[in-house]
Amino acid sequence: MPILFKKIRIVDTETDRNTNVLIFDNTFSEITNLDRQNNFTEIIDGEGLVLMPSFIDMHCHLRDPGYTYKEDLKSGQQTALSGGFTTICCMANTMPACDNPDTIKYILDKAKSLNMCEVIPVSAVTRNLETNQLVDFDSMIKYTRLFSDDGKPIINKQTMIRALQASSKYHFKLLTHCEPEVEMIERDLELLKKYGGNLHICHVSKRESVELIRAAKKDNLNVTCEVTPHHLFSYGLNYIVHPPFREKKDTEELLKGVLDGTIDIIATDHAPHSKKDKLKGARGLIGLEHAFSLVYTLFKEANINIQLLSKLMSDTPSKMLKKRATKFNQKTNADFVLVDLAKKYIIGEKKMNSKSENTPFIGQSVYGEVLMTIKNGEIKYDNR
C-alpha cells in the first residue's frame, strides 16, 4: 500500500531535514512532485511530525513460554510496536528456559506466524540458568548470536571464563547480568582482558560501573554496554526493580556515559509481572511502550539532539545485531516510527498494550508520542 508523508521531518544519525517521503513495497524515496498525489493510497500530513528509523530493543522479557499470564509473544509484540520497536531480543528466563533447540524454535515459529516484529530469542548460557553446565553452543548457535542468563548472574568464575571463550569461538555476544554490579563488572572485565571474548554488560546503573567500562574501552577491550530508559530518567524511586533505582550522582554519570560514547545502546529490560506477583516482590517494570517518551523527555530537558537518540535506539543496536539498518541516505529497508515530539501526555491515561501494568511511571507527564510504526513498509501500529 503506497503511503505518502507530506512535509515530514526525517531524522536518523546522519539526516535531519524536511521533505516528502513515499513508502511502497518495503522501499522508500523522497519526491518533489506532488501533482500525482491522488494516486497514493494514503496521504499523511507530516507537518510538525518526525519520521525516524524504528527502534531495536536488545533486552526484553516476553514470558513466553511458561509465564504467559504476565505477557506472551503476541501482547509483547503489540507493546513493542506501540513503542516504535520493530525488532526485539527476548531473554531466556522462560519456562522451560530457552536453553535448547525445541524452545528456541517454538519462539521463532510463533513469532513468524504472528508477523508483527522481528523477534530474536536470546539463548541461555547455562542449562536452566542455574547450573554450571553450559548449553550446547553447537546446537543453539544455528538460531541466535546472543547468549545470556539475564535475571541471574554468572557467579562461578570458571563458568564465566568458559562462556567468554565460547563467545570468541562461536562469535556470539555474551550479555551479562551483574550483581553486586560494580564488583562483578570489575571481575568480568579482568577476565575479558585475560581470556578475550565478546562481552556486553546489561542495564548499567552505577557511576562506578560507567567509570570501569570507560577505562576498559580506553584499553581497547571488546566490551559494550546498555542503559535502561528508567535508570536514565529517574533516581531514588522506592520501586522493586533490578538493578534498583540509584542516586542522582549515578543518573548524572549514566547521562555523561551516553554523551561520551561509553554507553552504546538504550535497552528497555521490559519485565512484565502480574499484580499478584509484584505484590510478592517480583523484580522489574514494563518498558517497551514508553521507552521513547522517557528518553526523549530527558533529552529535551537536557537539550540533547534527537539524532543521538536514534543512534542509541536504532543505529548502534542494528550494527551490534549485524542487521541492515534503515537509513534515509542509503534507501535501505522501510522500518519506521512516526512520532509527535510536541505531544505531551500522561503515562497510564490510555490503556496499556502490555498484559501488565507494573511501572512506577503511571501519572508521569512525558513528551513524544508514537503515532505509527511501520515494518517492511507495512503499517503495524496506528495511533493517529
Catalytic residue check, 269 = yes
Conformation bin of residue 9: beta by default, left when phi > 0, alpha when psi is -120 to 50: beta
On whether the CB atoms of residues 326 and 54 are closer than 8 A, the answer is yes
Question: Rounded to whole angstroms, how far apart are CA atoms 255 and 272?
Answer: 25
Q: Are the C-beta atoms of 378 and 1 separated by less than 8 Å? A: yes
Q: Name 75's Cβ contacts closer than 8 Å, sequence gap at least 6.
A: 353, 354, 355
H/E stretch holding 21 reads strand 16-24
Catalytic residue among 269, 315, 335, 340: 269
Look at the chain and count its residues. 384
Q: Which of 241, 238, 250, 199 is nearest to 220 (CA)?
A: 199
CA distances from 278 to 102, 188, 255, 363 (A): 30, 31, 29, 19
| Residue owning grid cell 541492515 | 324
Distance CA 145, CA 193 (A): 21
CB 150 within 8 A of CB 178: no
Q: Are 175 and 146 in contact (CB under 8 A)?
A: yes
C-alpha to C-alpha distance for 89 and 112, rounded to whole angstroms: 14
User: In 3D, which of 180, 168, 182, 265 has the Cα closest to residue 221?
Assistant: 168
Question: 315 CB contacts (<8 Å, ≥6 apart)?
Answer: 12, 13, 53, 325
* Beta-carbon contacts of residue 203 (< 8 Å; ≥ 6 apart): 59, 177, 226, 227, 228, 231, 243, 267, 269
Provide the β-strand partners of residue 5. 21, 44
Cell numbers that stand for 280 in this block: 510478592
**CA angle (200 as vertex; 194, 202 as ends), nearest 5:** 130
Q: Strands 55-60, 85-90: parallel, antiparallel or unpaired by DSSP?
A: parallel
Q: What positions carry a catalytic annotation?
A: 269
